[in-house]
């Protein structure tokens, strides 16, 4: 029986009760999942995704200052006292450190997928590497691709990223695609060689351009340049609390 691939158009549509036994891949191309891939590729020990600034600052208190890098944005603007979540510049801040990452959408989406069997973060930068991991024989569940979206709105660039990922999957195995997955793949095939243009003309891309982040769009539009496979793992803390991180 073929494994099924389905696409969810925004994180708010994720239902915890339907995640059991599923493999979930999160996409926030502009910029959270691209930032996660870049941080791990550039030597971060791990990335701790948090839901908001308050949670990030509370998590930071449990580490020594030189052990962490606080990285984050809210609605496209860098949080005061945090490093920019810019994939092209993050290298200088994350080497051998734990990254605490707070974003408006991508890190929230990762938390929303908490009940899934496996959760990965993918981008154009590392799509092939994550697809290869998802295709391992031990993983025979439905593959659910989640477009993070932006504040309860669908995002074009995430659907494009999901389409690219599906094309990577199909090079490795045969899958049954739902209509939503077929739509993502068709979008990607139509603009396979125009990733910069697709990202730049999306609503978030236009906002980032306005804020002076046009170079980031070019950086994250590159395909298959990273080998990292960010996967959610759960850690038990000394106080009994459970924390998720990507390694």
pLDDT tens digit sequence for 184-233: 999 999 999 999 999 999 999 999 999 888 999 999 999 999 999 999 99
pLDDT tens digit sequence for 48-75: 999 999 999 999 999 999 999 999 999 8
Instruction: Indicate if the pLDDT at residue 15 is higher than 70.
Output: yes
Instruction: Indicate if the pLDDT at residue 240 is higher than 90.
Output: no
Instruction: Indicate if the pLDDT at residue 140 is higher than 80.
Output: no
The pTM for the full model equals 0.97
What percentage of the chain carries pLDDT values higher than 90? Answer: 88
Rg (CA), the chain: 17
Q: Could you tell me if 205 and 157 are in contact, meaning their C-beta atoms sit under 8 angstroms apart?
A: yes
- Beta strands 232-236 and 242-246 are antiparallel
Give the residues across from 236 on adjacent strands.
242
Strand, helix or coil at 158? helix
């Amino acid at each position: 029986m073929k494994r099924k691939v389905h696409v969810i158009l925004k994180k708010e549509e994720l239902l915890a009760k339907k995640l059991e036994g599923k493999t979930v891949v999160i996409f926030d191309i502009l910029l959270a999942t691209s930032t996660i891939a870049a941080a791990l590729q550039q030597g971060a020990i791990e990335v701790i995704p948090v839901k908001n600034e308050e949670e990030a600052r509370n998590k930071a208190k449990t580490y020594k200052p030189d052990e962490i890098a606080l990285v984050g944005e809210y609605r496209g603007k860098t949080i005061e006292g945090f490093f920019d979540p810019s994939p092209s510049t993050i290298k200088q801040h994350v080497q051998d450190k734990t990254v605490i990452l707070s974003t408006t959408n991508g890190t929230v989406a990762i938390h929303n997928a908490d009940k899934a069997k496996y959760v990965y973060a993918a981008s154009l930068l590392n799509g092939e590497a994550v697809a290869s991991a998802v295709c391992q024989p031990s993983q025979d569940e439905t593959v659910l691709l989640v477009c993070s979206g932006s504040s309860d709105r669908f995002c074009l660039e995430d659907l494009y990223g999901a389409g690219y990922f599906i094309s990577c999957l199909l090079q490795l195995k045969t899958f049954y695609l739902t209509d939503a997955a077929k739509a993502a793949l068709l979008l990607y095939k139509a603009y396979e060689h125009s990733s910069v243009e697709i990202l730049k003309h999306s609503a978030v891309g236009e906002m980032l351009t306005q804020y002076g982040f046009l170079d980031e769009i070019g950086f994250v539009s590159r395909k298959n340049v990273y080998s990292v496979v960010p996967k959610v793992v759960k850690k038990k803390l000394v106080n009994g609390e459970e924390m998720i991180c990507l390694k």
